[in-house]
Amino acid sequence: MLYLLTGLANATCPSELGIPGVLTCSSEITDTIVATDLSYLGGECDASECYTCGEPYANEAQIAPEAVYSFTCQQEGDVRLLIKDLPCDLDIYVLDETCDPYTGCLFGSTSPYDANDEVIFTCSPGLTYYIVVEAYGTEHLDLASGPCTDDGTSTGNVFDPEYTLAFDVSASTGCAEDCDDGEDNDLDGDIDCDDSDCLTEALCCDLDEDGYWMEDCAGSDCDDSDPDVYPGAPETADGIDQDCDDTIDEGTDAYDDDGDGFSEDEGDCDDTDPNIFPGAEDIADNGIDEDCDGEDETAPILEDTGDTDARVPGDPSGDAKQGPCGCATPAPMALGWLGLLGLLALRRR
């Protein structure tokens, strides 16, 4: 059995009930009471231990196990407590801040077994109330309108009954601020995460349960409605800033990671190098495809073709020719001048 109590105002409440917890305006708790547990609050009426608001059985010993929750009223209003989906006879009581079922029992519902039961009461600001769900049908098998047994009779095998406790969610109940319902529950003019009460409220500060608080709660989650968006989340190519760094789609094929003007989707074959992109100058024979055309540029190779009319590099006149061996041969005019010079030399002799 789970006991949820906070702010115990009187030593009358047993220490066994001291597990922290509190009801809020949107509480809907599904719980189970262990049939073999002891009753921490009930007992014999002649010992001033029974629930005296439990009409019509005010003078009957009530020794069944119970679950107890607490609620602190912030503003006067009607509180509706509903227990539903009951498998057998469970009763609900409201105790004052003394947590005493005999002298502090304020309201109770002990109507015959039905799938749903409720109590409505008006709370006073500043007071703490204790809500008791008693598994009456686990102990009082001969008297319960619905024994908690496998066959519904007083002779059947007792089981652990499960129930759902729903708390009124309206703003009139004087509840603390419920941080994700769009209502000003505590009527202080601030709604949900605009209310400072919500700065430590886990439900407010991590609505999508991705481990990061929303920015309104001094967190770093830039979209607390999407569990895939949080600081450090992997980016996907969808136009959303998943990792909350104010850059969209980085590291994906849709983003130009190296800043050269092209992404992978736009043909960049290496988006980590700004010198590689479609249309870049491809440097020949360096083993790199700079222009992303699928191959590296190769330099032209000069071949010996045997053409003696090939011009010699460095000869602007074009008169010198290249022979089969690759060496230059004199131009015809040059040969004529050489012959004339030879004749003049012979004549002088």
Q: What is the mean pLDDT of each run of 10 residues along the chain (349 residues)?
A: 34 51 65 91 86 70 87 76 89 90 84 81 84 91 92 95 77 62 71 72 72 81 92 92 91 89 91 91 87 84 61 52 50 54 55
What are the extents of the domains in the chain? 15-173
pLDDT of residue 246: 92
Edge-to-edge strands, sheet with 28-32: 28-32, 162-167, 77-84, 117-123
pLDDT of residue 55: 63
Taking only the tens place, the pLDDT of each residue in 32-85 is 999 999 888 888 888 888 888 866 556 778 899 988 888 777 667 778 888 888
pLDDT of residue 11: 33
pLDDT of residue 3: 36
Taking only the tens place, the pLDDT of each residue in 169-180 is 454 555 667 676
Residue 284 half-sphere exposure, CB side, CA atoms within 13 Å? 4
* 179: CB partners within 8 A, 6+ apart: 192, 193, 195, 197, 198, 201, 203, 204, 205
Pairing verdict, β 66-72 and 128-134: antiparallel
* 260: CB partners within 8 A, 6+ apart: 268, 273, 274, 275, 276, 277, 280
Q: Which residues of 105-120 are buried (b: 16+ CB within 10 A; e: fewer)?
A: bebbbbeebeeebebe
Give the class (CATH, top level) of 15-173.
mainly beta
